[in-house]
Structure 1
Amino acid sequence: MPQYFSRLIAGQHADEFSQETSFWRDQALVLLYNPDGDQSQTLNALVFKVGRQPKDLLAHVRRIYFCYDQHLAEQLYAALLDLLIVLDGKGSLISRRMIEASRSRLNSGQFQALHKTTGRAQFGNPYSLFSSGITGSRELVSSQQQTEMQHDFLELANDFIEYSQLEQAMDVLETGISLHPERADLQQALLELYKSIGNRERFQIHQQRFSDSGVALLEEWLVLAQFFDRQES
């Protein structure tokens, strides 16, 4: 099975990532997952989650990964398109890498159309939730953003921390920094987590990845690196 997330996010440092692909399968749907059976029920549940929470990045990625893993080209194209529409021109780095990682599962027309999509373009198909002409158009995203409380990355991470789900909190903050590299508060919160749990390896991996992707790292990254070095000596 391909290391989808490593190719998706890590770029040339993919070998440094050890995330299990099981993470990208929604554990709430594990009873529905049958590698040898009809996966329409699982996919419908993943699509439903995206429809309810359009700004839930993890829900989008799990839908994309599932379609990629199951070789569902049309559904994969729709999943990628829906993410681009929701991002609305933001998060260009992560969206571009997701499209590139999915290239082997898309035809040339789909691949080119996704690269031309800015978040406002409408190249939909029957599986897309938010493109024009489909039930649940782009206006649905705006409506849900206004009527539902949408968690900020920092707020969502704090929710995970409150329930001692520190791994999930780090996932959220790392994703938030990738999408919003200008957010110093996300970097500070993530550094506090790295230090509190003593996760030197994860700290080093993401320090390198963020640096390589052009994120302006706070001075506190160097301070924490020195702290971990002292712990090792």
Structure 2
Amino acid sequence: MIELIGSHPLEAAFRIAYQGSLHIDAFGWEAKAKSFYAHAVARSPHTLWLHVQRINLLATVADPDLHGALFDLFLVLDGRGSALCKRLLSMAKPLLQTSVYRLLADQLAGAGSMLRLSPRGSVLSSGQLGYEQLIRLEESTTDDPTDPVKVASEQLAFGQTDLAQESLEKAVSAEPHRLDLHQALLEIYHHSRDKQRINQFLQRLAGKPNPARKAWQELIHELDEDSDTIG
């Protein structure tokens, strides 16, 4: 069992990385653990114990990203490891929407297509800019080690999501014309789903160039729908 961790996200990342158990006790710091696993799976998609720990964590806290985590595992295994997949899907069944469960079950039976899913929480699907794509983006755009996207990517590599978010917020405010900065920050916000902070940041952007305006609007709309569902 992992003891309660302080506020330093790097410590959380290292403690999680060296746990032998497939069930991680993240009581009190679930958000940091969730962020760590999202990034770790994107960086090392073929490390199966990371997938299993991530799925177990999300199931324990009944997180809606659970079906995205299952999707990522199924995507990587590509028809292999059916016993493992069936066991995890059975465990997660009470927490999944019926339609999502059926699609995943069909995929295991070879009767479905992963393309039919719209996996919230997936970090490996091609339909969204995940952490892995964020790192590819910073590698392809500049060799400057001080570039905000590169800095944020390195912070994410150590599980420092809060620092990466702050770095990108400052960068977008300073250079609002850069689409790559908006894309990187949007991806972090997509995972944090902190509607209040997003709205506060958009207020700071008011009157400035915003090449990703449509993407910001879509994220706000998605969060509004989440609020309506919860309500």
TM-score (norm: length of structure 2): 0.43
TM, length-normalised to structure 1: 0.42
Larger RCO: 1 or 2 (CA < 8 Å, sep 6+): 2
